[in-house]
Structure 1
Amino acid sequence: MVEKVDQAGSDKLSSFERSTEVQKDARKGARALSTGSQVGWAVKLAVLGGMWLTLYLIHLQIGDAKEIKRFDPFEILEVSPGASAAEVKKAYRQLSLKYHPDKNPDDPLAASRFMQITKAHNALTDETAKANYEKYGNPDGPQTSKVGIGLPRFLLEKENHLMILCLFFFLLLFVVPMAFICYYQRTKNYAANGVMIETLQFMGYYINEATRLKNCPELLAASAESRGMALRPSDNEELKTLGAQVTEHKKRQFKLPIIIKNDIILLAHMQRLHHLMSPSLREDLDEILRHSLKISQAMIEIACMREWFFTAQAMIEFRRSLIQALDVKSSQLLQIPHFNDEILKHCLKGKNATSTLADYLQKDPEQRKGLSSMTADQIADVEAFASHCSNMECKAITEVEDEKEIVVGDIATVTVQLLRKNLHEGEAMGPVHAPLFPEPKFEEWWIFLVEGAPNTRIIAFERIRDTERLIEAKLRFQISRPGKHSLTVHALCDSYVGIDKKVDLNFNVSTEDEVKREIFVHPEDEELDLQPTLFQQFMGELGGDDDSEEEEDEKKEKTKPVEKLSDGKQQKAESDDDKKDGDDSDSSDSDSDGD
């Protein structure tokens, strides 16, 4: 048995040595890459140092902040306060000749200096200006205080104007566009989820329906983020010792030295061989693991988009294997603090033996095995882990909202409820217990609605990042065929191995002929249909005056013919009455004549 193990180790070592030749050829490229990175850092430091130096020189030019001085004509004219009028006049004449703008055309401050000299002379010689100065401290009378920022002198000097203009255009036309271009060149290589586009293309090509956990370490090592890491000359010797102890579960697909290196350290992490890693290899491992969360997330989404449940399940298994540092066939109990191979042997033997994490957590503290050789602090850590790890309860129902029966063509809703029984009301989950992972991690759950065997196609899925006690997710899908349906809800945790949940759903779907549904319209809805819409109300308000005028005109037109008709009938009736009266009078006349 020992000979077989030694032979296997020598085979792995020889396979690694065969790749040594490739690594030697890649050393030059690695050295050139490292030299290029050093040059890049040197350039960055030089630019930063130049910026700090420029800022320091500007500070020296500007000088320290000074208190605003009051107007002092004696100081301006450089005479003593007790100077006579002749001394003041003499000083004024000398300074005015010295600072006259015509004699100092290249000095931008000469004009303001000459104005101060003139103002100081007036304050000491002119009666009005002198009175204002003695009363208000200024020869011009009461003044409002103004605070401003003075520009450095070198910005106002004429010989520096060309240099300042060139510097301004250099910053505006070169530095700003280059900064934008560099930022765009960097961001255009990344997708919205933070993964490099090259990695997404690579994963989309190599991930297929047969991809499983044993394929994932090499795929992660071949990602663009991993291939961008630098090789060191010392990696060859360090990886020989590590590679001899690593167990490989498949034949290598990629022969690039950086991929081989990162694949080995990923497998060493999953097999908990950190004590064989040098500090530089541990730094490389931590860098890959920091990228692994985003990349594994993208791998899961690729499998979900293609409706491959077993592939998505393998990607989630790989994600939690990296978080918990578990190999392909490692025991779930290694996630418990202070557990090792010796303690696992006690847990798998005798009465109350257990091999899964869920069974171990459900046992009473007195029935848990493997604690006899632990100290009180270690046992307390185990108990804290047992109370911290999610004890999830999963329930799921299938229904069609507002309907009693399910008919072909309906949109069915699967309501999934997850309850963390280890939490009390108002509590939430903390970070995952993952001492070998470089960053804090909060657990996430993936809910999959999957067809029954043999298809196992993903019908709907949902990613849940909520850490509350009660979680609810709704998965909707359209029913396309009648008869019996068998679906399965899988709730998979991405941070712990062995606490996944599964619920089977069975329901019957009727045809439209078998179930006749009456369309019920609520009376309130009918009343709403009779109400004018907002557009109709708006148009009615605009045309309300015109409609009222038209209605009044129509009423007038309708009433006029009726009045005429009634007048005509009345006149006709009067004429008929007249005729009758005439006939009566004629008949009476004739009677009288007969008589």
Structure 2
Amino acid sequence: MAISEDNSGLFPIFILTMLTLLVVPCTIIKLCRAASKKAKAVSCQCSVCSRSVKYDKSIFKKILSVSTWSNLILLLSWIMIGVLVDYVNHLDHEIEVFNPFNILGLQFGASDSEIKKAYRRLAVQYHPDKNPDPDAHKYFVESISKAYQALTDPISREHFVKYGHPDGQQGFKMGIALPHFLLNIKGSSGGILLLCIVGVCILLPLVAAALHLLKLRNYTVNNVRIPTIASYYMYMKPSLSPSKLMEVYVKCMEYLEIPIYWTEAECLKKIFTLVRSELNVDLRNIKQELAKFFKHHPALVKAELLVQVHLTRQTEALSPRLQKDFKRMMEPAPRLLNELMKIAVVIRPDLEHGWLRSAISVMEFSQSIIQAVPLSARKATSAYPEGYASFLQLPHFNDSVVKKIARKKVKTLQEFRDMKTEDRAELLSQTAGFSAAEIQDIEAVLDIMPSVTFEISFGTEGDEGIQEDDIVTLQGRVTLKRANGLTRVLPHAPLYPFPKEEYWWLILADESSNRVWYWQRLSFMGDRVENGSRLVKGRFLTLCEGNYDLTWYLLCDSWIGCDKKKKVKVKVKVVKRARGVSEEGPVLEEGEDVEEEIEEEEDDEGYDTEYSKHEGKAVASSSALDDEIKKIQSYLAGF
């Protein structure tokens, strides 16, 4: 027999084992992901960014940065493991095999006289007549008496010496490490055991899988709602200006789900008055336009006004509740703009191409959001051929400073950057009245402002030239340089409330027909960048026969005035396939050559491609997308 056949003492060990099996792999995965993260980027060092809350280096801020739900749950799990380990090490009674010699305090093989003396000594201490303590009585009956009987009975003693148990050879027993009160519910221990097996081994994994699939069903890989993608696809047009793109951008489920309170009406009307010059309204009939504007969907009205108040840099006019909603809107903005850009450039099954002008507008809108620059500042005028928005992203610049600089014939950001440091400092101090510290801030931002160059070639295999429905392979390198020599730097964006990495969109398009042939999203924050240069490689299908003047665009989603545009020096004539020899090859511009082959680099890693024509068809023609479009239409129609 055993001292305790109750398995409830094993329950803490069972919980400790199961918890360890879950927590240890999760911790290893977390550590591996942290070790493989991108190299830490350097943030802007100007005084404006240093005062920004998002770059707060305090201990409290660092704690908050790692205080995610998953990290907190992992930390609590390790604390629970530590408590259970301590509890198991300090159990009041240990679960061990019945040993009568140890109970009587004797050495193995003690004589009969020694056994009797030990029994008498313990009887004086624990016998009920000598010790009224109930625990002493229980210990005397269940342990001391049984140990004495086992050693004084020759058969029991022989069994113990031979098999390690007074009752002889024991069979294999199996129990469940659950608390005793659960196993004694009217004899239903078998049902409890079955319930635990079904719950832990079947139901728990099924629930976890169902929750994961439910999230996948409602969100994209970039954590954007599926109805948002449907809405963007439905409202996207071939040629949208940034101001018209605002109406498409705010029609997302992330913004429609922000709660609306009637107490916000007065504050929103004040915001309308502040940003009325940026809205498409008749300023001569402001009262009628106000009433007309507020007849739209309340969530759309609120979202557009909050975006406009950010672009015009007047967020201090927001109430505390609207400030909270504003941050809630700005947090998913980069992801939403990324999906909006994909919708603009994705190949549509009915057109077999994306839309260039809408893609450029999305990038201009993204730059305005990150830099908090009004959309009206991007309009070209006689005084500012490229608009003056690019100047407003510099610290301490405003409309009046830009006008003063323009009088000195500095009308574009590139002209301002090309000036010598001494000449630029003299211009800023004498014309704009900036102090030495403010000039230093401007120079710090100019030092991290990127300049990009790229060389890309494309062609097909063989000597037949580019023919209709050929798969064209492109290959090249994009190089990013900054004045301070760094590559991984976060953009200067003090008014955007969250840290933001810069991304670049490489687009090959036909300007005249508004067609996007190829697109790819690039980042210089990863390990695949060498000395500021990264490989670009991809494929795309040619369109119908004809001559095409193509243009490469390299657009930044964070900086204004850093985009690059480069004409392809080749007019490609796409010819229909003949049965025998090919008809014609590429038609070249005068004085230009075309490479007939593109050597494959040994290392094919280090590049990302997003070019599939069939992917575009899948996105556009799926029945799930049609269902989501109908949901969006019915949702908006309800208001």
How would you bin the TM-score normalised by the shorter chain?
Answer: 0.5 to 0.7
CA distance in 2, matches of 1:402, 1:113: 97
CA distance in 1, matches of 2:366, 2:445: 20
Aligned partner of 1:66 in structure 2 is: 92
* CA shift digits 1:524-580 (9 cap, x unpaired): xxxxxxxxxxxxxxxxxxxxxxxxxxxxxxxxxxxxxxxxxxxxxxxxxxxxxxxxx
CA shift in 2, pair 1:378/1:402, >3 Å: farther
Aligned partner of 2:449 in structure 1 is: 389
- The answer to whether structure 1 residue 503 and structure 2 residue 566 are counterparts is yes
Q: Following TM superposition, by how much is the alpha carbon of 1:187 offset from its aligned partner in structure 2, in angstroms?
A: 3.6
- The answer to whether structure 1 residue 465 and structure 2 residue 523 are counterparts is yes
Question: How is 1:421-436 mapped onto 2 (pairs within 5 angstroms)?
Answer: 421-422=481-482, 427-436=486-495
1:354 aligned residue (410, 415, 423): 410
8 Å Cα contact 1:459/1:477 also seen in 2: yes
8 Å Cα contact 1:323/1:437 also seen in 2: yes
CA distance in 1, matches of 2:118, 2:458: 105
1:236 aligned residue (262, 265, 270): 265
* CA shift digits 1:73-104 (9 cap, x unpaired): 4599xx9976649968x969999xx99xxxxx
Question: How is 1:48-447 mapped onto 2 (pairs within 5 angstroms)?
Answer: 65-66=91-92, 68=94, 72-73=102-103, 84=120, 116-117=143-144, 119-122=146-149, 125=152, 152-159=179-186, 161=188, 164=192, 168=196, 181=210, 184-247=213-276, 248-250=278-280, 255-305=296-346, 306=348, 307-330=354-377, 331-350=389-408, 353-368=409-424, 369-372=427-430, 373-400=433-460, 406=465, 408-409=467-468, 411-422=471-482, 427-447=486-506
The more displaced of 125-134 and 252-261 is 125-134
CA distance in 2, matches of 1:228, 1:439: 21
List gaps (5 residues or longer) in structure 1: 1-54, 100-109, 142-147, 517-595
Q: Following TM superposition, by how much is the alpha carbon of 1:182 offset from its aligned partner in structure 2, in angstroms?
A: 5.1
The more displaced of 157-166 and 238-247 is 157-166
* CA shift digits 1:366-393 (9 cap, x unpaired): 2223345333333222112111110122
Aligned partner of 2:78 in structure 1 is: none
8 Å Cα contact 2:446/2:483 also seen in 1: no
The letter for the 1-side match of 2:568 is L
8 Å Cα contact 1:488/1:502 also seen in 2: yes
The letter for the 2-side match of 1:227 is L
Larger helix share, 1 or 2: 1
CA shift in 2, pair 1:85/1:314, >3 Å: closer
The letter for the 2-side match of 1:471 is R
8 Å Cα contact 1:344/1:370 also seen in 2: no
CA shift in 2, pair 1:129/1:276, >3 Å: same
Q: Following TM superposition, by how much is the alpha carbon of 1:441 offset from its aligned partner in structure 2, in angstroms?
A: 1.6
TM-score (norm 2): 0.57
CA distance in 1, matches of 2:435, 2:294: 46
Aligned partner of 2:68 in structure 1 is: none
Q: Following TM superposition, by how much is the alpha carbon of 1:508 offset from its aligned partner in structure 2, in angstroms?
A: 4.8
Aligned partner of 2:555 in structure 1 is: 492
CA distance in 2, matches of 1:413, 1:424: 35
8 Å Cα contact 1:396/1:503 also seen in 2: no
The letter for the 1-side match of 2:257 is G
SS in 2 for 1:370: helix
8 Å Cα contact 1:446/1:463 also seen in 2: yes
CA distance in 1, matches of 2:118, 2:413: 100
The more displaced of 410-419 and 495-504 is 410-419
8 Å Cα contact 1:73/1:121 also seen in 2: no
The letter for the 2-side match of 1:384 is A
Q: Size of the alignment, in residue pairs?
A: 433
SS in 2 for 1:496: coil
Question: How is 1:535-554 mapped onto 2 (pairs within 5 angstroms)?
Answer: none
* CA shift digits 1:292-312 (9 cap, x unpaired): 222211111111124110011
8 Å Cα contact 2:503/2:524 also seen in 1: yes
CA distance in 1, matches of 2:344, 2:459: 27
CA distance in 2, matches of 1:86, 1:226: 79
Say which structure, 1 or 2, has more relative contact order (CA 8 Å, 6+ apart).
2
CA shift in 2, pair 1:67/1:450, >3 Å: same
CA shift in 2, pair 1:152/1:396, >3 Å: closer
CA shift in 2, pair 1:364/1:67, >3 Å: farther
- RMSD of equivalent CA atoms: 4.9
SS in 1 for 2:549: strand
The letter for the 2-side match of 1:506 is K
8 Å Cα contact 2:459/2:466 also seen in 1: no
